[in-house]
Structure 1
Amino acid sequence: MKERHSRHEQDRRLQAGTVVPLRVARKAPFGYFVTNGDIDVLLHQNEVTSQPKEGDVVDVFLYRDQENRLAATMRMPHVREGEYGWLEVVNVVPKLGVFLDNGMAKDLLLSIDDLPKRQQEWPEEGDKVLVTLSRDKRDRLLAKPADDQIILTIARPASPEMRGRWVEGTVYNLIAEGAFVFTETEHVMFIHRDEMPRPLRIGADVYARITYVREDGRINGSLRAPKEQQFKEDADRLLAYMMKRDGTMPYTDESSPEVIRETFGLSKAAFKRAIGRLLKQGLIEQSEGRTRLRNEGREAGRAD
């Protein structure tokens, strides 16, 4: 007698996240039903890449639809289970997480449980994150971000002569002390928060300078230019700020660190260095709680 299987047992035979060959059982108004002989699965018309005929065997990727029913698609995902790849963020839903484009009609969820607690550190639309496929207890597909162990298996050790170079990379992890970046040269870089003039988020692209090459081949980096160049850029920023405001501003080296950072994105120490540079060059003067451009400063500002 033919053995009977429950629907749950049959579903386990056809598991979400796998690519399997299934026979086209019949055509329906909204697509096709494909089967393994035990269970029929809907292959929606939107998921068809070529029009099969009844009896044809087609390779399909299985997933769970919105009602948690097993469904099929002929569109192969960018990333499969056991593989890692960079997927683009297409939507951010604060109560759920972020949705990624995995090459299918149904976007892939990177759950809030696998994202930083601070939403400001979540990836934004257009960012890319390195993930693989995983399944929850209900066999639904989810994105799982690459951890340090995975990153280290694909990373290459840096050589000492790379120090001082500028490289592009993508933030893949954030901790209290700073950000971890996977560079386009396939190196692991750590950027301390002191070397970040602006907050970073997961998935953000950065252009960073290699400041140190560790013995294990990992690198430290900075988003800041070398000191002398950075000092000049900070001073030029203050000069440009005053040029747009009739040559004056209500800030001096006595202003609070919070106001300075909010207004210029600079630390109090960097602001004071920039003010000192402009004073030494004779481009500004300070009095009554304000900083003003001298004539030489206005000429310098117009020249820039």
Structure 2
Amino acid sequence: MIHLGEYNTLYILRDTEPGLFLGDDEAGTNEVLLPNRYVPETFEIGDKIEVFVYLDNEERPVAITDKPYITKGDFALLRCNEVSKHGAFLDWGLVKELFCPFKEQAFKMKKGGWYLVHCYLDEETDRLVASSKTMRFLDNTTLEVAQFDKVDLIVSHPSDIGMNVIVNKKHHGLIYKDEIYKDISVGDKLEGIVKKVRHDNKLDISLSQIGYRNIEPNAQLILDALKDNSGFIPLHDKSSPEAIKEELQMSKKSFKKAIGSLYKDKQITIKDDGIHLN
């Protein structure tokens, strides 16, 4: 089976004038053309080659060796190149642009704008299309994550209480405003921790580890900052949350836990002017 919108590892079946014909098995049960512009300098019939397969401008399946910015089932921040009466055309790194119909636009797209989209195969047309209505491709009904799990995040969109994120490309989560200690933007790919799973399966996400789990990495961060600043940081347990955030990109609560751990281990001294490395 050859899958549209995905990377396929296929056999080289034969060399023809327009390019190489590739198949999903050596018998050539299913075939697709790799045009001459993508043919490798050296090859042998029977070799395997990894290609991306999509529909060309004439709606025929074609294999290419270019790497798109997004594949089927994935999310990515893409630039809108053009808008027609039917929808928007997005740059996904390939010759033929990725189409996003108006019905799949959360907000009307404009030329030159950047939009977080999901790529999927439209069953009615058998074409790859984009949708900026990303929430409908996420489901928290059955979770594949648990509290304290490390997760991959894609920043989705802001809300009044924080930043919505896509969790492991499957679930929806939220990072609260008071737990965002660095600049993040829509489309950013980050690592995080599941802070809490609520009764309705909503996920609270943290960009740092939780509870006792965050003491060690934050303590190391403070030690590194001390070493980079000749053994002194002008912060202590009475410093403002804003000053701590600006200097170390962590909350005051996490900071106090970390310096408490370091003080207990006699690695630092806390004075009125700040923290000193022992």
TM class, shorter-length: 0.5 to 0.7
Is 2:133 aligned against 1:146?
A: yes
Of residues 212, 223, 243, the one that matches 2:196 is 212
Is 2:88 aligned against 1:104?
A: no
Show CA shifts across 1:113-163 (max 9, x none).
Answer: 669xxxxxx97xxx963268xxxxxxxxx9751153x235xx252349733
Greater C-alpha Rg: 1
Q: Whose helix proportion is higher, 1 or 2?
A: 1
Show CA shifts across 1:48-88 (max 9, x none).
Answer: x79xxxxxxxx8469xxxxxxxxxxx999x8xxxx986355
Residue 264 of structure 1: how far off its partner (Å): 0.7
> Are the counterparts in 2 of residues 101 and 107 from structure 1 also a CA contact under 8 Å?
yes
User: TM-score if structure 2 supplies the norm length?
Assistant: 0.54
> Are the counterparts in 1 of residues 143 and 171 from structure 2 also a CA contact under 8 Å?
no
> Are the counterparts in 2 of residues 166 and 210 from structure 1 also a CA contact under 8 Å?
yes
Which segments of structure 1 move beyond 4 Å, counting only runs of 4 or more? Answer: 105-111
| Corresponding position of 1:252 | 236
| Corresponding position of 2:182 | 198
| Corresponding position of 1:130 | 118
* Of 169-178 and 185-194, the range deviating more from structure 2: 185-194
| Corresponding position of 1:226 | 210
Residues in 1 aligned to 2:192 and 2:94: alpha-carbon distance in whole angstroms? 31
Q: Counterpart of 2:212 in 1: which secondary structure?
A: helix
Residue 197 of structure 1: how far off its partner (Å): 3.6
Of residues 253, 259, 265, the one that matches 1:281 is 265
Q: Counterpart of 2:243 in 1: which secondary structure?
A: helix
Residue 176 of structure 1: how far off its partner (Å): 2.4
Is 2:225 aligned against 1:236?
A: no
Q: Which 5+ residue runs of structure 2 have no aligned equivalent?
A: 1-34, 37-55, 82-88, 121-128
Q: Which 5+ residue runs of structure 1 have no aligned equivalent?
A: 1-48, 51-58, 63-73, 93-97, 116-121, 133-141, 295-304
Residues in 1 aligned to 2:230 and 2:141: alpha-carbon distance in whole angstroms? 52
| Corresponding position of 2:168 | 184
Q: Counterpart of 2:218 in 1: which secondary structure?
A: helix
What is the aligned-residue identity percentage?
21
Provide the aligned length of Structure 1 versus Structure 2.
204
Q: RMSD value over aligned CA atoms?
A: 4.8
| Corresponding position of 2:154 | 170
Residues in 2 aligned to 1:161 and 1:255: alpha-carbon distance in whole angstroms? 36
Q: Counterpart of 2:270 in 1: which secondary structure?
A: strand
| Corresponding position of 1:86 | 75
Residue 217 of structure 1: how far off its partner (Å): 3.9
Question: Given residue 253 of structure 1, which amino acid in structure 2 is its aligned partner?
Answer: D
Residues in 1 aligned to 2:184 and 2:245: alpha-carbon distance in whole angstroms? 16
